Amino acid sequence: QVRLVESGGGLVQTGGSLRLSCEISGRTVNALTVAWFRQAPGKEREFVAAIRRFGGGTYYSDSVKGRFTMSRENAKNTVTLEMNNLIPEDTAVYHCAAGESIILSSIRGDQHYANWGQGTRVTVSS
């Protein structure tokens, strides 16, 4: 069974940076499509970024493109989300999610991911 554990959240001022990590067990990270989703208070969960399995590329939402970078660390079986130039609108609980056979057109849909972490809270103050 695939298990995901997020870490790295916290409180930061506008313009600051945070680095989130998602440690994966039960499956090799390179064999998974892994995504970050976030959910702000009172809002629906939204797609942030995804990295496809077997070197299939990295994809971002328009709201974070150019500020966030997602990468995979195969030796640590971990994915990271480097978040720069944070703004208050980035405040949310960030969840890591993983799946296997997710086609490109489906990577932004949370319903396609079978495995989820508990989340880590990010708060950006103005």
Angstrom distance (rounded) from CA 62 to CA 66: 9
- Taking 90 as the threshold, does the pLDDT of residue 56 lie above it? no
Average predicted confidence (pLDDT) for the chain: 97
Angstrom distance (rounded) from CA 55 to CA 32: 10
pLDDT tens readout for residues 57-114: 999 999 999 999 999 999 999 999 999 999 999 999 999 999 998 999 999 999 999 9
| 52 closest CA partner among 25, 79, 26 | 79
| 28 closest CA partner among 77, 73, 75 | 77
CA trace torsion 96, 8, 82, 33 (10° rounding) = -20
What is the rounded average pLDDT of the residues 23-34? 97
- Taking 90 as the threshold, does the pLDDT of residue 55 lie above it? no
Angstrom distance (rounded) from CA 92 to CA 120: 8
